[in-house]
Amino acid sequence: MAIFNIVKVHLATAGLCIVVSILPVLVLAFNWLKKKSAVTRWLAIIIMPAILSVTWYILFHNILCYVSFKLGIIVLFGLILLVMDLPVAVVAIGQMQNWLGRLIAACYFDTVLLSSTAIELKPQGINVLISSGLMAGVAAFLAAMLIAKCWGFSFNPDLKWQKSSNWSNVTFILLLLFCIVFAFWAEFCEKGNNLVEILFKPDFGPLKPTWASFCRALEAGVFEETNRYLTILALIVGFANSKYRVQITVIVSAVVFGLCILLI
């Protein structure tokens, strides 16, 4: 067992050295190649986030095993996670003009960011911010704002309430009730053993939240809606000349959103 542990440490150190030495070379190579063709831009989009995530994971995992001031390391690598992919987001994804390419790149980028949750940390305190994926969600949000700006959009909620000519109060109330009932059912009633329990026997166990469950719920809201925001931006531009662009955008973004949830 001792020999195995020694070999494992040597392999981890060797892998760490390889990653750290290769990364600057790759950065310089892509910096030179990015002006040459669209193919190299796609290579940067596909390879660079993956390399950065692997490097982040290896460095974080190895350093955390051999230091006593773990809190400082966790804070440092949490901050690194927030900003490490921003150059790729701006230089590569932000410069894409094709709407389908934007859609694919944004979904892939967010999926790679979620790999940070693979790090094993004790589920307590500040550790949960990383292991739950919340820090990755915030990183995705920051990247999305920069990407949207590069695509020609500005973040303006524009929440003015304006009723359309065919507005229906009855429809609005029914939709609101459906959302409330569905949210209640999805959270408290879907784990029954039979149809009666599923429909009419709620389990209120989730009403006892923990710090970890709160962070996971917050991560889902931030990460998933940020991903859908970029998806909608790509689609609304792609179908700009169609009179059904809003309907197409809503339906296709919902499908893409569901597929991303299944894959993740």
Q: What is the pLDDT of residue 29?
A: 59
The mean-pLDDT minimum among 84-98, 122-136, 226-240 falls in 122-136
The answer, yes or no, to whether residue 6 has pLDDT greater than 70, is no
| Band of pLDDT at residue 156, cut at 50, 70 and 90 | low
The answer, yes or no, to whether residue 259 has pLDDT greater than 90, is no
| Band of pLDDT at residue 5, cut at 50, 70 and 90 | very low
| Band of pLDDT at residue 3, cut at 50, 70 and 90 | very low
- Which residues, 6+ apart, have CB-to-CB distance to 134 below 8 Å? 128, 215, 216, 218, 219, 222
Rounded CA separation 160/169 (Å): 18
Give whole-number Cα distances, 187 to 43, 69, 129, 197, in Å: 41, 39, 22, 14
Rounded CA separation 187/62 (Å): 38
| Band of pLDDT at residue 51, cut at 50, 70 and 90 | confident
Mean pLDDT of 101-108: 90
The answer, yes or no, to whether residue 70 has pLDDT greater than 70, is yes
Q: What is the pLDDT of residue 244?
A: 87
Q: What is the pLDDT of residue 123?
A: 66
Mean pLDDT of 11-21: 55
Q: What is the pLDDT of residue 176?
A: 92
As given in the structure block, the two tokens for residue 94 are 């932000």
The mean-pLDDT minimum among 137-146, 228-237, 251-260 falls in 251-260
Mean pLDDT of 35-47: 77
Could you say which DSSP state residue 264 is in?
-
The answer, yes or no, to whether residue 157 has pLDDT greater than 90, is no
Q: What percent of the chain has pLDDT over 70?
A: 76
Per-chain mean pLDDT for the chain: 78
Rounded to the nearest 10 degrees, the angle between the axes of helix 211-238 and helix 245-263 is 140
Say if residue 102 is exposed, middle or buried (CB neighbours under 10 Å; 0-12, 13-18, 19+). buried
**Helices (DSSP H) in the chain: which residue ranges?**
2-33, 38-65, 70-83, 86-91, 99-113, 127-131, 134-150, 169-188, 195-200, 211-238, 245-263
- Which residues, 6+ apart, have CB-to-CB distance to 79 below 8 Å? none
Q: What is the pLDDT of residues 188-202, one digit of tens each?
A: 776 666 666 666 777
C-beta separation of 253 from 228 below 8 A: yes
| Band of pLDDT at residue 21, cut at 50, 70 and 90 | low
Q: What is the pLDDT of residue 2?
A: 32
Q: What is the pLDDT of residue 48?
A: 85
Q: What is the pLDDT of residues 162-174, one digit of tens each?
A: 777 778 889 889 9
